[in-house]
Structure 1
Amino acid sequence: MRADPAPSLSDAELRRFGRHLVLPEFGIERQRRLKAGSALLIGLGGLGSPAALYLAAAGVGRIGLVDADVVEETNLQRQIAHGYAVLGKPKIDSAEARMLDLNPDLVIERHQMRLELENAVGLISQYDVIIDGTDNFPTRYLVNDTCVKLGKPNVFGGVLRFDGQLSVFDARYGPCYRCIFPEPPPIEFAPNCAEAGVLGVMPGVIGCLQATEAIKLLAGIGTPMIGRMLIYDGLDLSFNTMRIAKDSDCRVCSKASEDIVLTETVMICAAPVGGTIRAEALQGRLDAQEPLIIVDVRSPDEWLTGRIPGSIGFPKPELEKALAQANGAPLSCLPMDQDIIVACQSGMRSSASIKFLVAAGYDPKRLFNLEQGMSAWPGHVTF
């Protein structure tokens, strides 16, 4: 959906982008290509925030924003497009305001919604380059599959803890995301940033690199990261690049575009054991003073954000080590003749801990995973 393939630059744009124009490899023609280009940014969180700001500042002519979330205080550690002044307001509002402040000539198209199976083709088909700033596997696979079907470059980024990844997936010239990761891992092996944590600057590093790749694609300069993946380790500040090959049997990109059928990716649990209990039901049992034990397998730092009254703090690694050393005997703090509720932040680490307890001889009928973990327990936390 390009307009004029080489739009002219105003006097203000010539001044604003002057540092681009003096680059011999860039110059006025590349700047005009940027202005003629369009990008769709999916997600305005840790990755999307820096990408959005730098794409706007660089002079991309038209940017679509896809996000349905509002700004929360926990976002501010890494999502630099937002601040305290906009808590509770849509992320798309604060990002748009900051982007237009950087580049008032920018055309922003708001899509205040989640990318879903019903709207993916309609949204992605409108833009030249797609930037994936999402943090969940179902949307990530939907972005990939739709880009393959429509022949669009997908600028991918991912971060967790102190690590980051970056690549450009374009099935016309190289592999797609499914060539490397055909299916998502089970839920308990796919922690998100809320569960595993992330150093706040990590999304900034990868988001800026995503913006770099998008600018290169739109301006037609350099060599894009097609067929390569960048691995970034923030702890030792190392960048490594690995080659990735196209899978000739890929379930998506090995097909003709007209034969690709978009489907919803569903995350599954791997053979869950034990039972589950909702926060409301657990509160009811506590109110009734039923005999039970609550084990919080989060880290001690996470306990500082609040605990369930009466819970035992037993970090997952320490629990696993203690069970192994007990060699089948019950732990003194976890008798086998009582119901045990295991809690973490979102329910993944607790699910894995229950499997260790069962393997150590605990009765799965007496083990319960707190559904959605502490994220479902906002009204009953003590400090």
Structure 2
Amino acid sequence: MTELSDDELERYARHIVLPQVGGIGQRRLKAASVAIVGAGGIGSVVISALAGAGIGKLTIIDDDVVDRTNLQRQPIFRNDQIGQSKAVLAAKFVRALNPYVEVDPIRQRLIADNAETLLGGHDLVIDDCDNFATRLVVGDKLTRLGIPLVSAAAVQFQGQVAFFRGWEADKPCYRCFVGDAFDSDDCDTCAEQGVLGALTATVGGFAALMAIRAIVGIGGDVAGSLFLFDGEALDWRKIRLPKDPRCRTCSA
């Protein structure tokens, strides 16, 4: 397993003193490769948290540019960066925060034709994109590749985070959760419905924590669990998702 330099031992000292992480857990983080689909409100927080945590390689996939309306909830971008590539700027942010993290910005829209190329070879993928069509492509492809998925979403005051390993016989995939009705780009987004900036930070932090738990091996297995957050009531709920025996992605 990859060793830690003296500088890294100091950098990650607050992790290493945790008995649940320690030096072994920190080396697992350094050895891990994670892809993040979407560098928006949730993705901004995920990128910052995972880069700070010392994930060895981050792949950031986003074909969008920074808009003024993004700045209310996407803290890794600045006002003077409006109009520039989110993926490129996010990579620049990561390099400035932690020089020990390798980062690869991908300025492409993830579609069925490039999904395997962009996602294959990673240890885990976090999807926080803003449309169901892309989410289903990601979920379907990762199920076939056998790569764990953390799926995170937020709109208005409602957030949700789930963990999927749908290739396993007793675990649902993302399509088991949402079905076949959303294989299109025709769905509501936060541009139409609104979203509280602090909510995306809450959901992004939770998604990053879920990813770190999975990589290090902390706590129990939450695959197949959906966590719902109500930002008005300040209430978390955990739901166990069933596997759909008729799911066209994982039922075989």
Residue of 45, 61, 65 corresponding to 2:60? 65
Structure-1 separation of matches of 2:236 and 2:217: 24
> What's the offset of the Cα at 1:139?
0.2
In structure 2, what is the equivalent of residue 30 of structure 1? 25
Residue of 144, 153, 176 corresponding to 1:149? 144
2:50 equivalent to 1:55: yes
2:173 equivalent to 1:176: yes
Structure-2 separation of matches of 1:19 and 1:38: 22
> What's the offset of the Cα at 1:93?
2.2
Q: Secondary structure in 2 aligned to 1:47? A: helix
In structure 1, what is the equivalent of residue 195 of structure 2? 198
* Pairing 1:145-294 to 2, within 5 Å after superposition: 145-173=140-168, 174-185=171-182, 190-255=187-252
> Which structure exhibits the higher relative contact order, with contacts defined as CA atoms closer than 8 Å and separated by 6 or more residues?
2
> What's the offset of the Cα at 1:12?
0.8
In structure 2, what is the equivalent of residue 325 of structure 1? none
Q: Are residues 187 and 111 of structure 1, via their aligned partners in 2, closer, same or farther at CA, if it must alter by over 3 Å?
A: closer
Report runs of 4+ in structure 1 exceeding 4 Å deviation: 185-189
Aligned AA (2:214): L
Q: Are residues 38 and 185 of structure 1, via their aligned partners in 2, closer, same or farther at CA, if it must alter by over 3 Å?
A: closer
Structure-1 separation of matches of 2:40 and 2:101: 20
Unaligned stretches of 5+ residues in structure 2: none
Structure-1 separation of matches of 2:5 and 2:184: 51
Structure-1 separation of matches of 2:26 and 2:182: 41
Q: Secondary structure in 2 aligned to 1:57? A: helix
Contact 1:65 1:92 in 2 (8 A): yes
Residue of 82, 99, 112 corresponding to 2:94? 99
- Structure having the higher Rg: 1
Structure-2 separation of matches of 1:184 and 1:34: 36
In structure 2, what is the equivalent of residue 276 of structure 1? none
Q: 1:122-154 CA distances to partner (integer Å, 9 max, x unpaired)?
A: 111121100001010110100000001101111
> What's the offset of the Cα at 1:223?
2.4
Contact 1:131 1:154 in 2 (8 A): yes
In structure 2, what is the equivalent of residue 360 of structure 1? none
RMSD: 1.6
Aligned AA (1:23): L
Structure-2 separation of matches of 1:187 and 1:92: 24
> What's the offset of the Cα at 1:61?
0.3
> What's the offset of the Cα at 1:184?
3.0
Q: 1:320-354 CA distances to partner (integer Å, 9 max, x unpaired)?
A: xxxxxxxxxxxxxxxxxxxxxxxxxxxxxxxxxxx
> What's the offset of the Cα at 1:177?
1.2
Structure-2 separation of matches of 1:180 and 1:23: 34
Q: Are residues 44 and 109 of structure 1, via their aligned partners in 2, closer, same or farther at CA, if it must alter by over 3 Å?
A: same
**Percent of pairs with identical residues:** 39
2:99 equivalent to 1:110: no
Residue of 120, 123, 140 corresponding to 2:115? 120
Residue of 14, 35, 46 corresponding to 2:41? 46
Deviates more, 1:217-226 or 1:133-142: 217-226
In structure 2, what is the equivalent of residue 129 of structure 1? 124
> What's the offset of the Cα at 1:178?
1.1
* Pairing 1:316-355 to 2, within 5 Å after superposition: none
Normalised TM-score (structure 2): 0.95
Q: 1:74-112 CA distances to partner (integer Å, 9 max, x unpaired)?
A: 000111111102111111122112212221111011211
Structure-1 separation of matches of 2:182 and 2:89: 34
Aligned AA (1:181): V
Aligned pairs, how many?
Answer: 250
Q: Secondary structure in 1 aligned to 2:58? A: strand
Structure-1 separation of matches of 2:116 and 2:82: 31
> What's the offset of the Cα at 1:185?
4.8
Structure-2 separation of matches of 1:135 and 1:224: 27
> What's the offset of the Cα at 1:62?
0.5
Q: 1:227-264 CA distances to partner (integer Å, 9 max, x unpaired)?
A: 21111000010001111111122111112xxxxxxxxx
2:9 equivalent to 1:21: no
Contact 2:163 2:222 in 1 (8 A): yes
